[in-house]
Structure 1
Amino acid sequence: MANSRFQKSRLVFVLLCFLFFVSRLRIFVAADDKSNESNKDDGYDFAVTEEDQIGDNSTISGGAYAAPNGVAMDQERSELCNTDMSSFLPPPYNNISNMVCKPVWNTFLLRYHKKEDNVVTFILSAVYTIGWVAMGFSKDGRMVGSSAMVGWFNRKGQARIKEYYLQGTRPSQVIEDAGELDLTKVPPAVVINGAMIYLAFQAKFEKPLASQPIILAFGTRYPNHYRLSSHDDKTAILFDFTAGSASRARINPGQMKKNHGVLGTLAWGLFLPSGAIVARYLKHKEPLWYYLHAGIQFLGFLLGLANVVLGQQLYSKIDANVPSHRGIGIFALTLSILQILAFFLRPKKDAKIRKYWNWYHHWFGRIALFFGVFNIVWGIHLGAAGTSWKIGFGFLITMILVTVIILETLTWLRRSEKTTPPETFQMNPI
């Protein structure tokens, strides 16, 4: 009778923990939604919004970078594109012919020339007084994870141009002399001609440059020891280097990234670990444990498969360079496919190879769970998902571990009760 009550209480405990995990996951995803809403106006968020205009007439304090209005603006841009740069730009930038020149934002003009070996020469120009001007290459239209070329003239009139890696949203996370641009041996240059500043550099790409999210920004304060101040204005555009056109379309796949994270967390952080817990601690509930285990694991597998498919679509859309995250995800999915195949090839209990099948099934499952959970943590780090995701997933894993510890302790106590020999009583002699 005691064992029966013990078994029922353990089943109820597992189901309650499972429901609790689901509710907590919904809470931390909702918290992340609120966090994202509150961070939309963050000083370094370059996501495209409906208000971003290509070549708009916006102005800022000081007016140094503001575009002129109407017909005068178009006429001035046309004249600027016809500027002879051979007299002030250093070689080889001063003698490149057939450069495409396009207005991209405010007074910003982008000139570029593509070679057959995927080397592209860029010349960015804008009206300039003081501060810095930047052009960045993004994976998804956001600042975080992108690389930018920044040029300015200091108080002594000395030219400065550096590559920066935009690691995070704080100025301290904008790292100088770092980034993922494969710059050629041709030194970048920054010059002033009249009222315009010109940033010129060359970069080599792995494949022909086509549609590329571009970040444009400027600040009206001098960099302090090469540390950039917060920008005064910014935008992000999708520039088609094949057609020579810029798009105002939203290019930030933030919702797709969030869905990718939710699916991965549900699959590898909730359902698959819960299915493993059922198999280990509810085997006395024959055959209920088997159907629960198979059903939960199959649902987790489907979520994991959908997560990989969504991740592949995300990779194709933003061309994210995250080979480690992709590789671990595909490896974990492969192990889960082998687990599904093992389900259909399970030998009978009295078969000689059943013990080898059990060994294979148990250890392949544990390895898959380990890499799945590790990849979630790695994905949260790579995607700069935010504190709410870290706290939420940390809480989820902690509860899983606490559940395992409690159930393992209860199982050990139950086994101890079974192995304790019964007390013997001696009859009093007559």
Structure 2
Amino acid sequence: MKKAPPCLLILSFLFSYVYSQSQDSCNSPLTLQNPLPFDTTSMQCANVWSSQGFILRYVQAAPNVWNFVLSAPNINAYVGIGFSPNGNMVGSTAIVGWVESDGTSNMKQYFLGGQQPNLVRLIQPPTQGLPLANGSTMVVQSDRIYITFQLLTPRPTSHLIYAVGPDARLPQASDYRLTEHEEHVATSLNYASGQFETQKQPESSLRRSHGILNMLGWAILMPIGAMVARYMRKWDPLWFYLHAVIQSTAFLFGLIGVICGFVLDDRLSANVSKHKALGITILTFGCLQVLALLIRPDKSSKVRKYWNWYHFGVGRVLVFLAAINVFYGIHLGKAGSSWNAGFAAVLVILFIVTLIMEIRIWFRK
């Protein structure tokens, strides 16, 4: 077997060295060109967010001093670490760093008072924010950002949150307003062992229930119940009881979904006024439909015609607004294209069935 030429071995070694220096890992020591204000050799290391390349190093340097180094890829977005008292993003204090287009690095502290932009407040240490020691800095090296700081506390909170901002939307020098993060993850860190657990946000299951119940109730079962009332009249009185059961189930699902939405709004203080207003309008129309069923006049009554106009009209507007609000809710919740595609497929199926049944009625006439 032939040996590789010396020049190729040298190039291979240099490439491996450069590549290893551009990659950060808990399996290799931290070597930065710019000296840090504290020693990093004895730090514990954890890959706290593997999908985003976040690595956290820390050590208790003194009884009331903790050293931290957060390493993350240098992309055209901000990166941050937040210390939360309860595991929620709201109420936490975050250290955020980013690199300007001209290469200037910035590191700021923010208090996350809510999800609305005006509730995310820039804070100025040392009088406010985290108890940081002087010398906190950010180092940019080999396409990675290193946020380094000393926390003056007997023991930091174990609830840590990491976030990545949206692409090309960096805080500007006028007020350094922080835009909503693109992705985030909440973890619980055991400082003694270095083990951490990714926490499931309690609002995630509530948000999912809110979306599924409203989608199933207002936007899927409601039109199915309306189709039963229109196309199954020959099976009297079966169509009426089936219509009543489906619409009652849809109203119950929708009502619970709206209640979940109010609970979410209270917990997250989210700025979703349009989505909320549409939801309240849909719920109001649903209540009107229930009242219409209770005061339904007899078939022989002269006002039955007007009641039918009212019942059909309100029902159609309800279904139309519900479909719009479901798509809007998927957008606000960043649920992804799969939710949009799935819901759209159901609507297309309902539309095709309705079109076929209307054509049959037209040919009969």
Asked which structure has the greater RCO (Cα within 8 Å, sep 6+), the reply is 1
The reply on whether 1:269 has 2:208 as its aligned counterpart is no
Q: Is the 8 A contact 1:136 1:216 kept in 2?
A: yes
1:216 to 156, 162, 167: 162
Alignment partner, residue 73 of structure 1? 59
Matches within 5 A, 1:112-131: 126=69
Structure 1 residues 129 and 400, CA, compared in 2 at 3 Å: closer, same or farther? closer
Q: Which amino acid counterpart does residue 151 of structure 1 have in structure 2? A: G
Task: Give the distance between the partners of 1:284 and 1:336, measured in 2 at CA.
Answer: 26
Q: Is the 8 A contact 2:221 2:246 kept in 1?
A: yes
Alignment partner, residue 180 of structure 1? 117
Matches within 5 A, 1:321-336: 321-336=271-286
Q: Is the 8 A contact 2:136 2:148 kept in 1?
A: no
Task: Give the distance between the partners of 2:320 and 2:83, measured in 1 at CA.
Answer: 34
CA shift at 1:388, angstroms?
Answer: 1.9
CA shift at 1:258, angstroms?
Answer: 2.1
Q: Is the 8 A contact 2:108 2:122 kept in 1?
A: no
What is the TM-score with the length of structure 2 in the denominator? Answer: 0.58
RMSD (Å), alpha carbons: 4.8
Alignment partner, residue 63 of structure 1? 30
CA shift at 1:264, angstroms?
Answer: 1.7
Show CA shifts across 1:13-65 (max 9, x none).
xxxxxxxxxxxxxxxxxxxxxxxxxxxxxxxxxxxxxxxxxxxxx94755378
Matches within 5 A, 1:234-253: 236=186, 250-253=200-203
The reply on whether 1:319 has 2:282 as its aligned counterpart is no
Q: Secondary structure at the match of 1:347?
A: coil
Task: Give the distance between the partners of 2:217 and 2:41, measured in 1 at CA.
Answer: 50
Q: Is the 8 A contact 1:188 1:199 kept in 2?
A: no
Task: Give the distance between the partners of 2:105 and 2:307, measured in 1 at CA.
Answer: 68
Size of the alignment, in residue pairs?
269
Alignment partner, residue 338 of structure 1? 288
Q: Is the 8 A contact 2:72 2:79 kept in 1?
A: no
Q: Which runs of 5+ in 2 are unaligned?
A: 1-24, 32-39, 45-57, 111-115, 127-131, 139-146, 150-158, 172-183, 189-196
Q: Which amino acid counterpart does residue 117 of structure 2 have in structure 1? A: E
CA shift at 1:380, angstroms?
Answer: 1.0
Structure 1 residues 280 and 376, CA, compared in 2 at 3 Å: closer, same or farther? same
Structure 1 residues 153 and 407, CA, compared in 2 at 3 Å: closer, same or farther? closer
Q: Which amino acid counterpart does residue 59 of structure 2 have in structure 1? A: M
CA shift at 1:385, angstroms?
Answer: 1.1
1:362 to 312, 319, 322: 312
Show CA shifts across 1:236-268 (max 9, x none).
259xxxxxxxx9864353232222222122212
1:294 to 220, 226, 244: 244
Structure 1 residues 266 and 226, CA, compared in 2 at 3 Å: closer, same or farther? closer
Show CA shifts across 1:262-302 (max 9, x none).
21222123211011011112223322221121111111111
Identical counterparts, % of pairs = 35
